[in-house]
Amino acid sequence: MKILFVSSEAAPLIKTGGLADVSGALPAALRNLGVDVRLLLPAYPQVLNALPQTQVVARLFGLAEFPVAQLLEAVMPDGVPLWLVDCPALYQRDGGPYQDKYGADWGDNAQRFGLLSRVAALLGCADSPLEWRPDVVHCNDWQSGLTPAYLHYAPQPARSVMSIHNIAFQGVFPQQLTPHLGLPWDCFKLDGVEYFGNLSFLKAGLFYADHVTTVSPTYAREIQTDALGFGLQGLLRHRQHALTGILNGIDNTEWNPATDPHLAAPYSSSDLTGKAANKAELQRRVGLTVAPDVPLFGLVSRFTHQKGVDMVLEIAPQLLEFPAQLVLLGSGDAGIQSWAQELAYRYPGQIAVQVKFDEGLSHLIEAGSDVFLMPSRFEPCGLNQMYSQRYGTPPIVHATGGLIDSVVDCNAETLAHGQAAGFVFHDMNAYTLLTTAQRAAVAYRDKTTWHALQTNGMNRDFGWNASAQAYRNLYAHLMGK
């Protein structure tokens, strides 16, 4: 079984969010199951710097109007073979994968990710310059969404899977780009790549892929509704028999409190003693008062409306009265950033805000907090609520998407069954979030209940194995096996 896994980011090389965690971990989990999987990424400077040993394996030219590029071969730190689309004109620049350093989208993103999609399709058809040919090309989010459309017009194409990690991001561009990206006008129609008069990369993938997946069973249902389909619900309802939700796993090696190098002290479900040292270190590092018995609420997130960070800020002053402390790590929306910083200024020692992307601090927050906050308005899967359970930090989550599929609410029944591991609320408003936080603070004072919540979460298996098997079965199904 040969799979080409196409992504625009992959940890630990380049990461802006959960897609990188998945692209870094799922291919390795598939390899453990005996699948021959190779990863395809753009050769961003961050990636080239992290991988000094690359080899040119093919020249890529004559692909529509895309600049000449080359294909580099390398190996991921965990041994997964990797190909990089090296096109300095499109990728060699300071900034992130999608935006410049001021947070503005790159003006040529259609070309940047059109090329990634085009090369993926090339490697998946009879025109490939390589001997290795995939049975299935697995595309992820809009950045590789055009791949199934290109494959539709390619000789002897591989089968294709389109995975949605967040349907809110769709890669919508002016229709005039269609021929410049090497697609025939023939595909610019409702049954094709057209989306309200524009060209949509994600819609192309959803329409042309042999199968569509998304990252949790609940989200697979939600994206078929008007409320959460972001305009694509009709197409997804039409394709519901080729749509599957597979819950993401987490990388148990990267996220293991017993061996995590970012922590002040190791700990495990059988001995949680080290957690206190992490709380003290976190409080010191972010400038909170070192107070072992005050419940510390942590949040690590993109600062956006989706993540409900604004609701956390709204309840923050009342939360402190429990008493409690709050630490927030993230960046994004300028209004949310300055509101958060203003609160930290008003409540020194009680609220700490770090506006940046900091992998090490995110691990320490998972370990050093008592409760993790993840009140997303919608959440395809979400990873932090699984990390926090693994770190003995029960999460508070809104009942949506992957959050509901991965967190069991604390009540008398779930406690009795040894399942309770967090707090789930249903009505998305500040009052409910506050009362749920209060519920958590009360449980925190009851040492027996709290210990049960912590160890239930820590002992649950969130690893990739079950999900990787589900993907392998899907590939086998598509190959007619």
Residue 293, burial from CB neighbour count under 10 angstroms (0-12, 13-18, 19+):
exposed
Binders of ligand ADP in range 20-49 (CB under 6 A) = 21
**What does the alpha-carbon distance between residue 481 and residue 462 come to, in Å, rounded to a whole number?**
28
Q: Which of 169, 230, 339, 357 binds ligand ADP (CB under 6 A)?
A: 357
**What does the alpha-carbon distance between residue 16 and residue 56 come to, in Å, rounded to a whole number?**
27
In the numeric block, which tokens belong to residue 253? 């090696």
Contact (CB, 8 A) for 470 and 352: no
Interacting span for ligand ADP (CB under 6 A) from 16-24, 179-187, 192-200, 239-247? 16-24
Q: Establish if 358 lies at the interface with ligand ADP (CB under 6 A).
A: yes
We find the least distance from the C-beta atom of residue 480 to ligand ADP, in angstroms, to be 33
Strands (E), 49-146: 55-60, 69-75, 81-86, 136-140
Number of residues that bind ligand ADP (CB under 6 A): 18
Closest CA to 358 of 329, 388, 328, 387: 329
Binders of ligand ADP in range 417-446 (CB under 6 A) = none
Q: Locate all alpha helices (DSSP H) within 106-188, ordered by sequence.
A: 109-123, 147-152, 177-180
Find the helix packing angle between 109-123 and 201-208, rounded to 10°: 20
We find the least distance from the C-beta atom of residue 292 to ligand ADP, in angstroms, to be 25
Closest CA to 362 of 287, 262, 437, 256: 262
**What does the alpha-carbon distance between residue 369 and residue 285 come to, in Å, rounded to a whole number?**
13
Closest CA to 96 of 336, 331, 385: 331
In the numeric block, which tokens belong to residue 458? 């820590």
Contact (CB, 8 A) for 266 and 258: yes
| Stretch 369-408: interaction string toward ligand ADP, x if CB under 6 A | ------------xxxx------------------------
We find the least distance from the C-beta atom of residue 301 to ligand ADP, in angstroms, to be 6
In what helix (H) or strand (E) does residue 214 lie, and over which residues does it extend? Answer: strand 211-214
We find the least distance from the C-beta atom of residue 125 to ligand ADP, in angstroms, to be 31
Closest CA to 40 of 79, 81, 11, 100: 81
Q: Establish if 362 lies at the interface with ligand ADP (CB under 6 A).
A: yes
In the numeric block, which tokens belong to residue 140? 């992820």
- Residue placing its CB nearer to ligand ADP in the complex, 387 or 450: 387
- Residue placing its CB nearer to ligand ADP in the complex, 72 or 328: 328
Binders of ligand ADP in range 290-329 (CB under 6 A) = 300-302, 329
We find the least distance from the C-beta atom of residue 358 to ligand ADP, in angstroms, to be 5
Closest CA to 1 of 373, 480, 412: 480
- Residue placing its CB nearer to ligand ADP in the complex, 175 or 337: 337
| Stretch 194-223: interaction string toward ligand ADP, x if CB under 6 A | ------------------------------
Which residue carries 């609420």 as its tokens? 297
Q: Establish if 278 lies at the interface with ligand ADP (CB under 6 A).
A: no
Residue with CB nearest ligand ADP?
Answer: 18
- Residue placing its CB nearer to ligand ADP in the complex, 182 or 401: 401
We find the least distance from the C-beta atom of residue 362 to ligand ADP, in angstroms, to be 4
Interacting span for ligand ADP (CB under 6 A) from 29-37, 110-118, 355-363, 462-470? 355-363
**What does the alpha-carbon distance between residue 280 and residue 364 come to, in Å, rounded to a whole number?**
10
Interacting span for ligand ADP (CB under 6 A) from 79-87, 106-114, 199-207, 352-360? 352-360
Interacting span for ligand ADP (CB under 6 A) from 36-44, 100-108, 149-157, 356-364? 356-364
Binders of ligand ADP in range 460-479 (CB under 6 A) = none
- Residue placing its CB nearer to ligand ADP in the complex, 210 or 366: 366
Q: Which of 4, 8, 9, 18 binds ligand ADP (CB under 6 A)?
A: 18
- 179-196 burial: b if 16+ Cβ within 10 Å, else e: eebbbeeebbeeebbbbe
Q: How many CA atoms lie within 13 A of 392 on its CB side?
A: 26
**What does the alpha-carbon distance between residue 299 and residue 292 come to, in Å, rounded to a whole number?**
18
Q: Which of 134, 330, 401, 463 binds ligand ADP (CB under 6 A)?
A: 330
- Residue placing its CB nearer to ligand ADP in the complex, 135 or 260: 260
- Residue placing its CB nearer to ligand ADP in the complex, 167 or 300: 300
Interacting span for ligand ADP (CB under 6 A) from 17-25, 149-157, 189-197, 342-350? 17-25
Residues at the site binding ligand ADP, with contacts judged by CB under 6 A: 17-18, 21, 166, 300-302, 329-331, 357-359, 362, 381-384
